[in-house]
Structure 1
Amino acid sequence: MNWYREISPTEKRTLWGCFAGWALDAIDAQLFSLVIPTLIATWGIAKGQAGLIGAVTLVGGALGGLLAGVLSDRVGRVRALQITVIWFSLFTFLCAFAQNYEQLLVLKALQGLGFGGEWTAGSVLLAETMRARHRGKAMGIVQSAWGFGWGAAVLLYTVVFSYVSPEWAWRVLFAIGVIPAGLVLYLRRGIVEPPREARAAGGPTLGPAQQAGTLSILAGIFHPSVLRQTVVGGLIGLGAHGGYHAVTTWLPTYLKTERHLSVLGTGGYLSVVIVSFIIGCFLSAWLQDRIGRRWNVIFFALASAITVNLYALLPISDTAMLFLSFPLGLFSAGIPATMGALFNELYPQGVRGTGVGFCYNFGRIVSAVFPFLVGHMGNSMPLGTALGIDAGIAYGLVVVAALFLPRPQTQVAPTATPQRV
Structure 2
Amino acid sequence: MAQEVNDKVALGSTDSGLVAMFRNMTVPERRTFWGCAAGWTLDGMDFMLYPLVIGTLIALWQVDRGTAGLAVTVTLLSSALGGWLAGYLADRIGRVRVLQITIVWFSFFSFLCAYAQNFDQLIVLRALLGLGFGGEWTAGAVLMAEAVRGKYRGRALGSVQSGWAVGWGLAVMLQAVLFSVLPPEQAWRWMFALGALPAFLVFFLRRYVEEPDISVKGRALAIEQGTQPSLWEIFSPGILKTTLLTALFSVGAQGGYYAVTTWVPTFLRAERDMTVVGSTGYLASVIVGSFVGYLVGGWLADRIGRRNLFFTFSIGAMGLVLIYTQVPMSNAALWAVGFPLGFFASGYYSGIGPFFAELFPTRLRGSGQGFAFNFGRGIGALFPTLVGFLSSSMTLGVAISLFAAVAYGLLFFATALLPETQGKVLKAD
Q: What range is the shorter-chain TM-score in?
A: 0.7 to 0.9
Per-residue deviation, 1:321 = 2.4
TM-score by length of 2: 0.83
The residue that corresponds to 2:74 in the other structure is 56
The residue that corresponds to 1:86 in the other structure is 104
For residue 109 of structure 1, the aligned residue among 100, 107, 127 is 127
The residue that corresponds to 1:330 in the other structure is 343
The residue that corresponds to 1:287 in the other structure is 300
Contact 2:41 2:166 in 1 (8 A): yes
Per-residue deviation, 1:397 = 2.1
For residue 72 of structure 1, the aligned residue among 80, 84, 90 is 90
Contact 2:83 2:137 in 1 (8 A): yes
Q: What is the number of equivalent residue pairs in this alignment?
A: 404
In 1, distance between residues paired with 2:186 and 2:196? Answer: 17
Per-residue deviation, 1:314 = 4.0
Q: Indicate the SS of the match to 1:183.
A: helix
The residue that corresponds to 2:283 in the other structure is 270
In 1, distance between residues paired with 2:228 and 2:267? Answer: 50
In 2, distance between residues paired with 1:391 and 1:77? Answer: 33
Per-residue deviation, 1:36 = 3.9
For residue 119 of structure 1, the aligned residue among 132, 137, 148 is 137
The residue that corresponds to 1:212 in the other structure is 228
Per-residue deviation, 1:255 = 7.7
1:363 aligns with 2:376: yes
Q: Indicate the SS of the match to 1:112.
A: helix
The residue that corresponds to 2:11 in the other structure is none
Give the counterpart letter for 1:147 in structure 2.
A
The residue that corresponds to 1:194 in the other structure is 212
The residue that corresponds to 1:152 in the other structure is 170
In 1, distance between residues paired with 2:188 and 2:399? Answer: 36
Q: Structure 2: which 5+ residue stretches go unaligned?
A: 1-18
1:22 aligns with 2:40: yes
Per-residue deviation, 1:50 = 3.8
Which 10-residue stretch deviates more, 15-24 or 88-97? 88-97
TM-score by length of 1: 0.84
Q: Which runs of 4+ in 1 moved over 6 A?
A: 250-257, 372-386
Contact 1:129 1:413 in 2 (8 A): no
Q: Cα deviation per residue 1:257-314 (whole Å; 9 max; x = unaligned)?
A: 7xx5446962221110111110111110111111111111111111112222334554
1:411 aligns with 2:425: yes
In 2, distance between residues paired with 1:35 and 1:372? Answer: 16
For residue 333 of structure 2, the aligned residue among 299, 307, 320 is 320
Give the counterpart letter for 1:411 in structure 2.
V
Give the counterpart letter for 2:168 in structure 1.
W
For residue 238 of structure 1, the aligned residue among 247, 251, 256 is 251
The residue that corresponds to 1:417 in the other structure is none
Q: Cα deviation per residue 1:312-357 (whole Å; 9 max; x = unaligned)?
A: 5544333332222221110011121211111111111111011111
Q: Indicate the SS of the match to 1:177.
A: helix
In 2, distance between residues paired with 1:376 and 1:38? Answer: 18
Give the counterpart letter for 2:314 in structure 1.
A
In 2, distance between residues paired with 1:168 and 1:370? Answer: 29
In structure 2, relative to structure 1, the CA distance for the partners of 1:330 and 1:73 (3 Å cut) is same
Q: Cα deviation per residue 1:67-93 (whole Å; 9 max; x = unaligned)?
A: 111111111100100100111111122
Give the counterpart letter for 2:115 in structure 1.
F
In 2, distance between residues paired with 1:131 and 1:9? Answer: 14
Which 10-residue stretch deviates more, 330-339 or 301-310? 301-310
Contact 1:132 1:413 in 2 (8 A): no
Contact 1:131 1:413 in 2 (8 A): no
In 2, distance between residues paired with 1:42 and 1:376? Answer: 19
Give the counterpart letter for 1:404 in structure 2.
L
In 1, distance between residues paired with 2:47 and 2:67? Answer: 17
Query: CA-atom RMSD, angstroms?
Result: 3.2
Contact 1:128 1:413 in 2 (8 A): no
Per-residue deviation, 1:394 = 2.4
In structure 2, relative to structure 1, the CA distance for the partners of 1:208 and 1:406 (3 Å cut) is farther
Q: Indicate the SS of the match to 1:114.
A: helix
In 1, distance between residues paired with 2:217 and 2:317? Answer: 34
For residue 346 of structure 1, the aligned residue among 339, 354, 359 is 359
In 1, distance between residues paired with 2:387 and 2:308? Answer: 28
